[in-house]
Amino acid sequence: MHKIITGVDLAKEEIQVCVCKHNKVQSNQAQTPTQFSSWLASSKPMTIVFEACSTSNYWKQIALKYGHDARLISAKLVASVRQNQKTDKNDALAVAQAAQLIDVSFINGKSKEQQELQTLARLRELAVKHKVAMEHQIKSLLLEFNIRISPRLGGLSGVVQAVLEDAENGFSMVFREALKTAWEQLLQSIDSIKKYDGYLEKAANQHVICKSLQALEGVGPLNAINLYIALGCGEMGQFKKGRDASACIGLTPIQHTSGGKVKLGSIGKYVKNHTVRSSLVCGSMAVVQQVLRRVAKTKKDLWIQQMVARRGKRLRDPHKFCRHIIPLFSLHFSSPNMPPKPEFA
C-alpha cells in the first residue's frame, strides 16, 4: 500500500472521500461524481479503497486507469468497523480504517467484460421471475371463477384459449381483452427468455474460460457464466484453494469452532450465491439421472451408482458433485486450456 490511504463511500449523487496519512485524517469531504473523477486524474498515486456496492467496479476501473492502487472491500466488514452513527463521513472513515486491518481480504471486482456477462445473466433471471409471476397470477385469477388448470385441458394455454373462445361462459368483452393482453405478455416473457438463452450461449462460447467450463458434466452456458462471475471475480475475496470457493457458493457445512473443538453443522440454506448453488444442484441431478440410466463406463459412474444405492439421489449427492466442480474450476481458471478430467482417480 501507499502511505496515503483514501476511503471512499459511494452514492448516486454524492461521493464522500476520506484521505488518511500516517494514521491521521487529512481531509473528509463530499464531492460530486464529476469532481471526484477530476480529483482522481489530478492526484498523485495512492491507495484508494472503495466500499463494494453499486458503481464500485466502475470507479475502481477509473482509479486504476489513472495509476492508483484501487481496491474493493466488503461492506459487511466496513459496517463492523464503523464507529458512532451512520453518516457519510463515518462510512468513508470506516472504509479507510478497515483497509488497514491485519490480513484483510479485498474483493477482486469485475472488469467491463465480466460486468457484461453479469448483465446477461441478471436480465435472464429477471425475465424468468416475470414469467413465473405472470403464470401464477393468471392461474390464481382464473381459479377465482373455479377455472382450474389441468394437463388434460392443454395446460394453461389450452384453458386460456378455451375461456377466450367460449361465447357462452358469461365473461364480458373487457374481461376477455384483459385476459388476452395478460396471455400475450406471458408469451412475450417466454420469448424473451429464449432470446437471453441464445445471448448467454453465444457469450459463453466466445469466452475461453466459460467454454472450458462447459466441458464439465452438469455445466451449461448459464452455469459456466455464473461460476465465472462468482469465482473468477472473487465476490467474497480472493480464493487460494477450492475449499474457499466452495464456501463462497455455499457447498460446505456451517462451521462453529471454539476452544479447539471443531463443530460442523448442516449446509447453510441462506447463502450469498443461492442462484449459482441452485443451478449447480440442478445440473448435478441431471448428471445423476443420466448415469443411472446407463451402464457404468468410468470410475465416476460406478461411484455415483453406488452412492445412490446407499443413500438415495436427494440426500447429499448434489452437494458432493458440486464440490468436485469447484476445484476443477480452480484448475481451469489457472490453466484455461487444460482439458477436463474424464473421471475421478
Instruction: Please report the pLDDT score of residue 54 as a whole number.
Output: 85
Are 238 and 307 in a shared domain? yes
Q: Which domain holds residue 122?
A: 112-206
Average pLDDT over residues 73-100: 92
Q: What cell was used for 54?
A: 453499486
pLDDT band at 73 (very low <50, low <70, confident <90, very high): very high
**pLDDT band for position 237 (cuts 50, 70, 90):** very low
Q: Please check whether residue 184 lies inside any domain of the structure.
A: yes
The CA distances from residue 25 to 5, 42, 90, 134, 256, in Å, are 10, 20, 12, 53, 37
Are 327 and 300 found together in one domain? yes
Mean pLDDT of 110-132: 91
Do 319 and 226 lie in one domain? The reply is: yes
Mean pLDDT lowest among 19-23, 101-105, 158-162, 263-267: 263-267
Last residue of a domain, one of 99, 130, 159: 99
Number of domains in the chain: 3
- End position of a domain, from candidates 175, 206, 237: 206
Pick from 216, 177, 244, 199: nearest CA to 329: 216
Do 77 and 116 lie in one domain? The reply is no
For residue 340, being part of any structural domain is answered with: no
Encode pLDDT of 191-221 as tens digits.
999 999 999 999 999 988 888 888 877 788 8
- Sheet containing 15-21: which strands, arranged edge to edge? 24-31, 15-21, 4-9, 47-51, 69-73
Mean pLDDT over each residue of the chain, to the nearest integer: 83
CA distances from 111 to 48, 58, 90, 140, 244 (A): 17, 8, 29, 43, 22
Cα–Cα distance for residue pair 255/269, rounded to 1 Å:
14
> Whole-angstrom Cα distance, residue 71 to residue 52?
9
Q: Given pLDDT bands bounded at 50, 70 and 90, which one contains residue 341?
A: very low
* Segment 103-130 mean pLDDT: 89
The answer to whether residue 342 is domain-embedded is no
Quick check: 74 pLDDT over 50? yes
Mean pLDDT confidence for 215-237: 74
In terms of domains, do 238 and 149 share one?
no
Predicted TM-score (pTM) of this structure = 0.78
The answer to whether residues 169 and 227 belong to one domain is no
Q: Does 309 have pLDDT greater than 80?
A: yes
**Can you tell me the distance from the alpha carbon of 266 to that of 272, in angstroms, rounded to the nearest whole number?**
16
In a domain, 123, yes or no: yes
160 and 65 co-located in one domain: no
Does 220 lie in the same domain as 184? no
